[in-house]
Amino acid sequence: MKPRSLVTGGAGFLGSHLCEHLLKLGHQVIAMDNLLTGTISNIEHLQGEDFKFIKHDVTEYIYLAGPVNYVWHFASPASPLDYLQLPIHTLKVGALGTHKALGLAFEKKASFMLASTSEVYGDPLIHPQEEEYWGNVNPVGPRGVYDEAKRFGEALTMAYHRYKDMNTKIVRIFNTYGPRMRPNDGRAIPTFIPQALKNEPITIFGDGKQTRSFCYVDDLIEGICRLMFSDYHEPVNIGNPHEMTITEMAQLIIELSGSKSKLINKPLPVDDPKVRQPNISLAKKLLDWEPKVPVNEGIQRTIEWFQNVL
């Protein structure tokens, strides 16, 4: 019997790459998504006897016939633009959606993974961020809807692990990029690449000195699979520690795409973190995992994908 996986948010950027990878590992895969920020075009190439798509809002009761071995809970708006436009839905999917997905995993005796985020660290007061750090989040700021939903999701997941003896995992994902990101979803890389390809000005928020650490999607998927198949239950950072300023990333994209774009500055959004870099010592030790794709190569692959879709 093939293992059977349910991926919530399966039509999104990360969810679709995860579905693809699980099919390669020999799983039967069900992608469940309400297509709020995801799209069928991300998964239509996966159609086949081992893959099924179910359109469903996971904040509502989830029913699935038959066995399920793994539940990967990835449904949630993820870009600041999306969650600032969908604040109540973001809170609902992080809270009610996580509850429903955990409930299904409990009923099926499945392993469960919560896709959490580096945003649980907020605007961090320690650098790089390690799993023991509890974070510096403004609960009532505009970004609080996402950060607090994920923090609640982590607490709920640990409660199901401790009090219902479930096999749960929490991955804290740091900025990840690659093919299938939506142009103009507000995140830096899918905003910069189309601007560069059209030779339009590249819009940098603030002075561009804030840092991010970008992980290529293939590396992330490998890391989260190793975590799911491990027997560790506390949160684990998965991301690429290669830290760059936003301006350096924009310049790299201009260089690799041969663009004539210039940089322009726009006001910094409220509570935008100043620095972001994962400490991945735990993932290295526990999962023997570290990212392999250098930033130049990952950005090059992403530019090529955008060239084809734009």
Instruction: Give the residues lining the site for ligand NAD (CB under 6 A).
Output: 8-9, 11-15, 33-38, 57-59, 74-78, 93, 97, 115, 117, 173, 175-176
Q: Which of 146, 160, 177, 216 is catalytic?
A: 146
Query: Is 10 or 208 the residue whose CB approaches ligand NAD more closely?
Result: 10
Nearest CA-CA partner of 58 in 13, 114, 3: 114
Query: Is 2 or 44 the residue whose CB approaches ligand NAD more closely?
Result: 44
Nearest approach in angstroms of CB 126 to ligand NAD is: 19
Nearest approach in angstroms of CB 34 to ligand NAD is: 4
Query: Is 236 or 259 the residue whose CB approaches ligand NAD more closely?
Result: 236
Q: How many residues does the chain have?
A: 310
- 121 classed as catalytic: no
CA distance 53 to 236: 29
CA distance 64 to 61: 10
Query: Is 74 or 261 the residue whose CB approaches ligand NAD more closely?
Result: 74
Nearest approach in angstroms of CB 59 to ligand NAD is: 5
Query: Is 227 or 261 the residue whose CB approaches ligand NAD more closely?
Result: 227
User: 191 CB contacts (<8 Å, ≥6 apart)?
Assistant: 183, 184, 185, 203
CA 285 from centre of chain: 22
Nearest approach in angstroms of CB 258 to ligand NAD is: 26
Cα dihedral 9/12/17/23 (nearest 10): 50
User: 292 CB contacts (<8 Å, ≥6 apart)?
Assistant: 219
Nearest approach in angstroms of CB 199 to ligand NAD is: 27
CA distance 6 to 262: 44
- Burial of residue 44 (CB within 10 Å: 0-12, 13-18, 19+) is exposed
CA distance 287 to 232: 10
CA distance 212 to 252: 14
Nearest approach in angstroms of CB 56 to ligand NAD is: 6
Nearest CA-CA partner of 214 in 185, 182, 238, 186: 238
Q: What share of the chain is helix, strand, coil (3-state, %, to 5)?
A: 40, 20, 40
Query: Is 74 or 160 the residue whose CB approaches ligand NAD more closely?
Result: 74
Residue 2 CB neighbour total at 10 angstroms: 12
**Residues annotated catalytic, as ranges:** 146
